[in-house]
Amino acid sequence: MKKTEQLTDSMFYIMAALTKPKHGYAIMNLIEETTNGVITIGPASMYTIIKKLLIQEWIYLHDKSDARRKTYQLTEQGRNVLEEDLKVRKRMIQLAENGLKEGEE
């Protein structure tokens, strides 16, 4: 398995939201709704991250017909990066869950 750059939590959430085409406002809403408001990503942070993801070619501009509502989506490479990062995060959770269970014994 090749080592990819680890995603920040915000990058992870944005990429996870872009498995289907979405515009910025929909991305922010989905993240906030999915996390019951625990995680919010403001517009400035989100668009900074979107620029980075575009440069990395992990997302692409899906539809720019409305300049105020550009929609983005994961590229195949972005999907692979997200899948690899998800595997790492699952192992992190498993480590923590196992540690907590052992601590109760």
Residue-wise pLDDT tens digits, 84-104: 999 999 999 999 999 998 877
Tally of CB atoms within 10 A around 72: 25
Q: Is residue 41, in this structure, part of any structural domain at all?
A: yes
Number of domains in the chain: 1
Q: Is residue 56, in this structure, part of any structural domain at all?
A: yes
Q: Is residue 4, in this structure, part of any structural domain at all?
A: no
Q: Is residue 3, in this structure, part of any structural domain at all?
A: no
The structure tokens 């196992």 sit at 98
Q: By the 8 A CB rule, do 4 and 15 touch?
A: no
Closest among 12, 19, 59 to 39, alpha carbons compared: 12
Q: By the 8 A CB rule, do 85 and 5 touch?
A: no
Partners of residue 61 on adjacent β-strands = 72
pLDDT band at 1 (very low <50, low <70, confident <90, very high): very low
Q: What is the pLDDT of residues 22-31, one digit of tens each?
A: 999 999 999 9
In angstroms, the CA 91 to CA 105 distance is: 21
Q: What is the pLDDT of residues 56-86, one digit of tens each?
A: 999 999 988 877 789 999 999 999 999 999 9
- On whether the pTM is more than 0.85, the answer is yes
Q: Is residue 76, in this structure, part of any structural domain at all?
A: yes
Residue-number span of the structural domain to which 40 is assigned: 9-104
Say which CATH number the domain at 31 has. 1.10.10.10
Q: By the 8 A CB rule, do 15 and 59 touch?
A: yes
Q: What is the pLDDT of residues 36-62, one digit of tens each?
A: 999 999 999 999 999 999 999 999 999
Q: Is residue 51, in this structure, part of any structural domain at all?
A: yes
Q: Is residue 35, in this structure, part of any structural domain at all?
A: yes
Tally of CB atoms within 10 A around 89: 14
